[in-house]
Amino acid sequence: MNTTARILPVLLAGGSGTRLWPQSREQYPKQFLNLIDDKSLLQNTALRAARIPGALPPLVICGDQHRFIAAEQLRQIGIKDATIILEPVGRNTAPAAAIAAQFAKEKYGEDTLVFLMAADHAVRDVDAFAKSVGIASNAASLGRIVAFGIVPTRAETGYGYLRRGDALGDGAHQVAQFVEKPDLETAQRFLAEDCYLWNGGLFLFRADTFLKELAQFEPGIAENAALAYTQGRHDLDFVRLNAESFHNCRSDSIDYAVMEKTSRAALVPLDAGWDDVGSWEYLATLPPTDGCGNVTRGDVLLEDAQNNLVSAHSRLVSLVGVKDHVVVETADAVLIAPRDRTQDVKKIVQRLKEAGRDEAQSHPRVYRPWGWYETIALAGRFQVKRIMVNPGAKLSLQMHHHRAEHWIVVSGTAQVTCNDKVFLLGEDQSTYIPLGNKHRLDNPGKIPLEIIEVQTGSYVGEDDIVRFEDIYGR
């Protein structure tokens, strides 16, 4: 193993995860959800990356609307030195890889190894994962661009494949062929042959090697990505890419832009229980929680039911005489589908978008940089919200033209600003914010602040906010 290699883990945290609707929404997609255990997929990816010998603080690349969610989730697991780069628009993995290589080159040196991985994968054997990365670092340090070939466990038609070529030494191989997603018959043949591996979208390379190859094969992407990074600006704890230059990057994958063209491609097998958490069918294959093959989460009651995935989030879900189905319940939507039809969930999401419905975009619980809120009741002239403010966090100094607000503290301590008055409220205490008054809610304590907010007025929409001060730059 190359013990001197410094490896920059790059966590690609974009995407909307439509096949995991209704739990995954555009404003809070699957990489931020606790789908497998008590940590989100992003958190598990970051912790897994930290186990790699020589790992540097991670770089997270995500969209602007998810910046505070990503930062908060990293803080929750004790990662405070990560860098978060914000993409103004999604442009696939080739531009993202170029941005990551530029960052690594400038911050750590051109020989830094960049480990590109999606933030929504699952890995059961972290030790085997770290060992494969160590093997790959030898080839990458010598100028190879390494793709990890996942040892297949089933005839999978949803992944591309890599055909393993001749050995290069130290556990690496040539890439004999990149194969598109096959049909079932072809995938079964691949599974029977030892030389075909899944293309899991994990890559390891020297920063300077990748930039040189990208400039040769896709000079437009290389040039615009470099400009997007060098002309970017720091915003609080984030790096915002230059929007115009990044928009000018052609959307393309690292496979098409570089890997299928370069002579430096290499392959290292990965046998670590890897899988892409891409649909509900994957989660249905997790170890059963009962003796009938069912996988359940939440308040679930089953009678004569077999081989189902049932996920309940806000109420009791009961199944009687149901087999081989996926049932997912959230506060505002329920999905019921045969296990072999879960890939079609994205069609429902598309129809919701076409109809302009909120269920495709947001959850009833809406996350903000200071915490979250959820609507409990909504009618013509009132709205009731449950609001949670993180310790040390504060909402913007703001006012409303069309509504007044009543705040009741349920737990914690609130510091309230109302015009020129600043005062504290404890549990079971309340206050009234008249229409048109400047106001702010702070949590000066060490535990979460939870309040019930009752809004009354002629209009209670979220766009009736005039901000005067905001520590989050909104």
pLDDT block averages, 10 residues each, the chain of length 474:
78 88 93 92 96 95 91 92 94 96 96 96 94 94 95 90 91 92 92 92 96 97 96 87 95 94 95 91 89 96 97 96 97 94 93 93 86 90 96 95 97 97 96 96 97 95 89 77
Q: Which CATH class is domain 365-469?
A: mainly beta
327, 317 Cβ separation under 8 angstroms? yes
- 453-472: b (≥16 Cβ within 10 Å) or e: bbbebeebeeebeeeeeeeb
H or E segment and range at residue 155? none
Nearest in space to 213 (alpha carbons), one of 139, 263, 147: 263
β-sheet bridge partners, residue 425: 414
pLDDT of residue 4: 60
pLDDT of residue 1: 45
Q: Give the pTM.
A: 0.88
Class of residue 233 by CB neighbours under 10 A (exposed 0-12, middle 13-18, buried 19+) = exposed
**Region of 356 on the Ramachandran plot (φ > 0 left; ψ -120 to 50 alpha; else beta):** left
Cα→Cα distances 264→62, 176, 212, 325, 351, Å: 28, 12, 11, 45, 43
Structure tokens at 76: 């929750």
H or E segment and range at residue 161? strand 161-169
Count of Cβ atoms closer than 10 Å to residue 68 Cβ: 20
Alpha-carbon gap, residue 450 to 153, rounded angstroms: 46
pLDDT of residue 194: 85
- 260-276: b (≥16 Cβ within 10 Å) or e: eebebbbbbbbbbebbb
- Domain locations in the chain? 7-276, 283-353, 365-469
Alpha-carbon gap, residue 404 to 458, rounded angstroms: 10
Nearest in space to 90 (alpha carbons), one of 18, 28, 20, 15: 15
Question: Residue 40 — φ and ψ, nearest 5°?
Answer: -75, 165
Q: At what angle do helices 219-230 and 93-108 cross, to 10 degrees?
A: 50
Q: CATH for 7-276?
A: 3.90.550.10
- Topology match between the domains 7-276 and 365-469: no
